[in-house]
Every structure is written in structure tokens, then in C-alpha cells.
């Protein structure tokens, strides 16, 4: 079993335990009104009666109920301690998972760099042979011609946010599916897939400045108020407004061609952001984990084959229908005024 899978299972187990503890806490807190009601009733009886026996009986009843309330307070305090400890464990495990995913990505990147370095070395050796073998001149020109026809490399910047206090999503599976489909595409060497995990709001500008991407992909949660959900310093949800996202797109790279909001209720952000980029994809309502993964993976596969944004979008919807996922009407494509999405090709052969 890989470390990534181990960390993922640990996080799930811890979160299941958190749910059980929170349910136990809710159960205990639910008992309080009943005990308080009995105390109030006993006090009311004391105020109405002159019977010493009755008064003493009610005082004993009040004492018993107050002890039960104290016991509940103690149980709730113990549960809160356990919750705090396990939440700390979850944060630590999430950090380990993020580091391991980044480490695996770095290994793949290093392997790709070595492959490119070896390829460059072979090209130099081949060029040297031209000086000694004139008969290879024609073949060399053919090879160089093919290299010129390859599309320029673009970067897809995948930014994921999965706060601790929000429903948990399988964002790592979405990233894995996208990367796998890009790898299978015709122009895979022209598409660089870069990931950012546990994204905080200010990480967005930093990542764009570092990678200068052609496509930005937001993966995680969205709100019905046109907000994206990032993480704060404690790993909990932090809402970022539509206006802040639009300002970020306006103030960063001019190379951004497409912004993909793979989050719930993100159509408003997509509509606004096309004032500053060529195209955007948003969701008209909530979207399920599996639907988000299937749609995005097929979309980037089509992009990697050099198809237009419109064709890639339609293939993503077709993939949902082929898988029997009834959410093909959830994604929506928006383009800048005056542009034809059928002619908008990001990886140009």
C-alpha cells in the first residue's frame, strides 16, 4: 500500500471518529433541557407548597438533577478534548498527504527533466554527425521540421482546497484522473500539469506568478453566494468573493486562456471572469465528486489532443452521459465577447 493511500485511510478513520464524538456530544447536550425543566418544575412546587416534606423532597430532586447536569458538563468537556486532539491528528495527516503527493509529483517532474535532458543530448550528438555524414542532411531537415510542428508547452495549474470543517471531497482522485488522461493524449509532452494542495487565498497569486499557466483549475467547494472556499491557517473554510477572484485574474498573467471552476454554484464567477480571460467553465448548481472527476478528465484529454475548448466541453458532457451520471447540464461554458469557442484551441498542433 502506498503512503498516499495510507494517509488517506488514516484521515478517513480519524474523521469517522470525529463524527462519532460529535454525535455523542450532541446526544449529551440534548439531555440538558429535560433536566433543567425538572429543576424549574421543582422550584415552582416549592414556591407553591407549605408542606415541609414536599419542600425537602423537591430540594433533593433539584440536587439530583443538578448533579446530572454537572455529569453532562464533564462528559461534554471530555468529548471536546478528544475532538481537539483528533482534529490536530487530521491536520497533521493532511499535511503529510500533501507533502507525499508533492514528493511523488517531483519524482515525475525530475524523471521528465532527465528525459528532456537526454533528448537534448541526443540531438546535439545528431547535429555533430551532420558534419561528418553529408548524406544524413535530408533526414535531419525532416526531423527538425517535425519538431517545429509540435505545439508549445502550456501549463495547467490545479489548485485544490478541502477544508476540515467542510464535507470532504476526493480531490486527489480528480487530479490523478486528469493527469492520466493528459498522459494518454496525443500532445501529452506539450501539457504540464502542476498541482497545489490545501490552497489558501494568497496562494493563488503566488502560484500564478510562479507557473504562468494557460489554464487555471479550481477544485473544491463553492457557495451559493458566488464564493470560492479556500482554507485558513487552521485548515478551516475561508470564503473568497467573486469580485476577489475576478480582480486576481485581471491582475495576474496575460497568458491565462481558461479558468475552470470545478466547484458548486460557480457559474457567476465564470460569467464575470471572461471579461479578462478567453473562456471559463462554471457549475450551475451542486456537482457530485464523480461527475466533477469524469467531466474534468475528459475535458483535459480533448485539450491534449488539440481540440477546441467547445469540442472539449462537449466531450466532457458526453463522458458524463456515457457513465450514466445525470449531471451533464451542470457544467456551463462562457467565452469572452466576440470569440468563437469552436475556434479557441489552447494546445495548437
142 vs 98, more confident: 98
Q: For the chain, what is the largest distance between any 2 Cα atoms, rounded to a whole number of angstroms?
A: 123
- Is residue 193 within 8 Å of residue 182, measured between CB atoms? yes
What is the rounded CA–CA span in Å between residue 283 and residue 268?
9
Residues 6 or more apart from 175 whose CB is under 8 A from it? 101, 158, 160, 193, 195, 219
Cell triple for residue 169? 471531497
Q: What are phi and psi of 217, to 5 degrees?
A: -120, 115
pLDDT tens readout for residues 32-79: 999 999 999 999 999 899 899 999 999 999 999 999 999 999 999 999
What is the rounded CA–CA span in Å between residue 309 and residue 306?
9
pLDDT at 144 over 60: no
> Which of these, 84, 82, 107, 102, lies nearest to 7 by C-alpha position?
102
- pLDDT score recorded for residue 21: 93
pLDDT tens readout for residues 233-288: 999 999 999 999 999 999 987 899 999 999 999 999 999 999 999 999 999 999 99
pLDDT tens readout for residues 146-160: 445 445 789 999 999
Q: Is 110 exposed, middle or buried (0-12, 13-18, 19+ CB in 10 A)?
A: exposed
pLDDT tens readout for residues 288-337: 999 999 999 999 999 999 999 999 999 999 999 999 999 999 999 999 99
- pLDDT score recorded for residue 95: 92
Summarize the chain as % helix, strand, coil (round to 5).
60, 10, 25
Q: How far is CA 27 from CA 32, 33, 56, 78, 329, in A?
A: 10, 12, 31, 14, 41
Q: How far is CA 76 from CA 86, 96, 261, 263, in A?
A: 15, 30, 40, 36
Tell whether pTM > 0.85. no
pLDDT at 119 over 90: no
Q: Which domains does the chain have, with CATH numbers?
A: 3-95 (1.10.287), 152-335 (3.40.50.1460)
pLDDT at 112 over 80: yes
- pLDDT score recorded for residue 347: 92
pLDDT at 136 over 70: no
Confidence band, pLDDT 50/70/90 cuts, at residue 4? confident
What is the rounded CA–CA span in Å between residue 156 and residue 140?
32
Confidence band, pLDDT 50/70/90 cuts, at residue 126? confident
- pLDDT score recorded for residue 134: 64
What is the rounded CA–CA span in Å between residue 230 and residue 203?
10
Confidence band, pLDDT 50/70/90 cuts, at residue 228? very high
pLDDT tens readout for residues 178-215: 999 999 999 999 999 999 999 999 999 999 999 999 99
Q: Is the dihedral of CA 274, 278, 284, 286 positive or negative?
A: negative
- pLDDT score recorded for residue 93: 87
pLDDT at 2 over 90: no
In the chain, % of residues over pLDDT 90: 79
What is the rounded CA–CA span in Å between residue 38 and residue 25?
21
Say which DSSP state 133 is in. -
- Supply the Cα-derived Rg of the chain in whole angstroms: 29
Number of other CB atoms surrounding residue 315 within 10 Å: 17
Amino acid at each position: 500500500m502506498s503512503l498516499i493511500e495510507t494517509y488517506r485511510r488514516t484521515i478517513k478513520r480519524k474523521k469517522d471518529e470525529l463524527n462519532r464524538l460529535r454525535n455523542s456530544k450532541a446526544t449529551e447536550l440534548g439531555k440538558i433541557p429535560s433536566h433543567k425543566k425538572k429543576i424549574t418544575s421543582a422550584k415552582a412546587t416549592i414556591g407553591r407548597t407549605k408542606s415541609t416534606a414536599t419542600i425537602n423532597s423537591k430540594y433533593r430532586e433539584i440536587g439530583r438533577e443538578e448533579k446530572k447536569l454537572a455529569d453532562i458538563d464533564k462528559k461534554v468537556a471530555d468529548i471536546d478534548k478528544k475532538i481537539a486532539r483528533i482534529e490536530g491528528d487530521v491536520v497533521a495527516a493532511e499535511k503529510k498527504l500533501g507533502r507525499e503527493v508533492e514528493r511523488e509529483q517531483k519524482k515525475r517532474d525530475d524523471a521528465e527533466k532527465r528525459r528532456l535532458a537526454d533528448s537534448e543530448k541526443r540531438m546535439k550528438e545528431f547535429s555533430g554527425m551532420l558534419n561528418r555524414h553529408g548524406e544524413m542532411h535530408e533526414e535531419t531537415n525532416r526531423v527538425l521540421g517535425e519538431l517545429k510542428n509540435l505545439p508549445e508547452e502550456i501549463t495547467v495549474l490545479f489548485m485544490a482546497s478541502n477544508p476540515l470543517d467542510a464535507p470532504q471531497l476526493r480531490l486527489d482522485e480528480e487530479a490523478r484522473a486528469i493527469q492520466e488522461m493528459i498522459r494518454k493524449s496525443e500532445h501529452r509532452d506539450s501539457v504540464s500539469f502542476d498541482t497545489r494542495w490545501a490552497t489558501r487565498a494568497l496562494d493563488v497569486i503566488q502560484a500564478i506568478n510562479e507557473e504562468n499557466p494557460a489554464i487555471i483549475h479550481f477544485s473544491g467547494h463553492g457557495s451559493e453566494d458566488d464564493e470560492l472556499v479556500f482554507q485558513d491557517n487552521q485548515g478551516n473554510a475561508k470564503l473568497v468573493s467573486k469580485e476577489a477572484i475576478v480582480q486576481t485574474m485581471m491582475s495576474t498573467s496575460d497568458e491565462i486562456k481558461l479558468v475552470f471552476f470545478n466547484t458548486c454554484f460557480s457559474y457567476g464567477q465564470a460569467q464575470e471572469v471572461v471579461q479578462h480571460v478567453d473562456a471559463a467553465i462554471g457549475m450551475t448548481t451542486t456537482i457530485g465528486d464523480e461527475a466533477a472527476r469524469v467531466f474534468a478528465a475528459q475535458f483535459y484529454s480533448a485539450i491534449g489532443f488539440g481540440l477546441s475548448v467547445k469540442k472539449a466541453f462537449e466531450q466532457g458532457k458526453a463522458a458524463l452521459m456515457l457513465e450514466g451520471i445525470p449531471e451533464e447540464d451542470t457544467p456551463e461554458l462562457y467565452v469572452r465577447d466576440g470569440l468563437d469557442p469552436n475556434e479557441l484551441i489552447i494546445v495548437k498542433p
